[in-house]
């Protein structure tokens, strides 16, 4: 059964900026199938960091369902989950920023330049994680995420595993692609595209 993977803004931005492929949505779809993940973007991350800045070409990746945006109410489907989620967001903020979160309501307010994308994504993944279900968090700007994991040993919830694009490509290379069907195999050239480091444009 495919695992759930939450995608950060920078990870999406790097993949959507691939210019040397004539069908980026298809490439990304095969990439996620090969990784055996169902890719999601946290709805708050999409709303505050993507939705109003994205161009039509990149919007197509979401419209085609290559990356899904869940309804927060479907994941936090009871009061206990919502309570745990809010507490986890507040605790992760304290761990990362060494301060109390400056928001009255973490479900409706946002603060830029405060790593809230990573915090919300990891918190939502933590609510969904259990000993039989490892959640991934895909992020190229993973210093904050890995710092959170290092200092968050006191949390009850199991935090998602953090992987960069290069980690994902190396995972595929290590495990081989011989088990994949032709529909999701990736060429060596495509794997290089997926892991290639480049500066991101202002227009994501």
**What string of DSSP letters covers 156-189?**
SSPPPEEE-HHHHHHHHHHH-STTS-TTT---HH
Q: What is the predicted pLDDT for the residue at 202?
A: 36
> Which helix (H) or strand (E) is 10 found in, with range?
helix 9-16
For residue 63, the cross-strand partners are none
Cβ neighbours of 104 (radius 10 Å): 7
What b/e string do you get for 10-30 counting C-beta neighbours within 10 Å, with b at 16 or more?
Answer: bbbbbbbbeeeeeebbebbbb
pLDDT one-digit tens code per residue, 186-200: 888 888 899 875 544
pTM for this prediction? 0.88
Q: What is the predicted pLDDT for the residue at 81?
A: 94
Q: What is the predicted pLDDT for the residue at 156?
A: 62
Q: What is the predicted pLDDT for the residue at 180?
A: 56
Contact status, residue 200 vs residue 11, Cβ threshold 8 Å: no
Dist CA 201 CA 19 (whole Å):
12
Q: What is the predicted pLDDT for the residue at 195?
A: 87
Regions of the chain short of the pLDDT cut 50: 179, 199-204
CA neighbor of 163 nearest in space, from 187, 186, 193, 195: 195
**Residue ranges per domain, the chain?**
3-195
Q: What is the predicted pLDDT for the residue at 153?
A: 64
Q: What is the predicted pLDDT for the residue at 31?
A: 94
């Amino acid at each position: 059964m495919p695992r759930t993977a939450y995608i950060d803004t920078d990870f999406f931005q790097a993949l959507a900026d691939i210019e040397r492929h004539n069908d980026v949505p298809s490439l990304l779809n095969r990439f996620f199938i090969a990784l055996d993940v169902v890719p999601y973007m946290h709805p708050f991350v999409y709303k505050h960091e993507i939705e109003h800045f994205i161009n039509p070409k990149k919007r197509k990746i979401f419209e085609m369902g290559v990356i899904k945006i869940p309804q927060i109410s479907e994941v936090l489907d009871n009061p206990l989950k919502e309570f745990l989620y809010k507490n986890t967001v507040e605790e992760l903020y304290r761990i990362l920023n060494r301060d109390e979160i400056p928001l009255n309501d973490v479900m409706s307010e946002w603060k830029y330049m405060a790593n809230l994308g990573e915090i919300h994504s990891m918190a939502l993944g933590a609510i969904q994680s259990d000993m039989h279900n490892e959640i991934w968090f895909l992020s190229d700007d993973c210093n904050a995420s890995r710092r959170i994991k290092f200092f968050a040993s006191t949390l009850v919830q199991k935090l998602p595993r953090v992987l960069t694009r290069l980690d994902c490509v190396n995972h595929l290379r290590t495990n081989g692609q011989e088990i994949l069907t032709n529909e999701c195999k990736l060429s060596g050239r495509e794997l290089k595209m997926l892991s290639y480091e480049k500066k991101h444009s202002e227009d994501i």
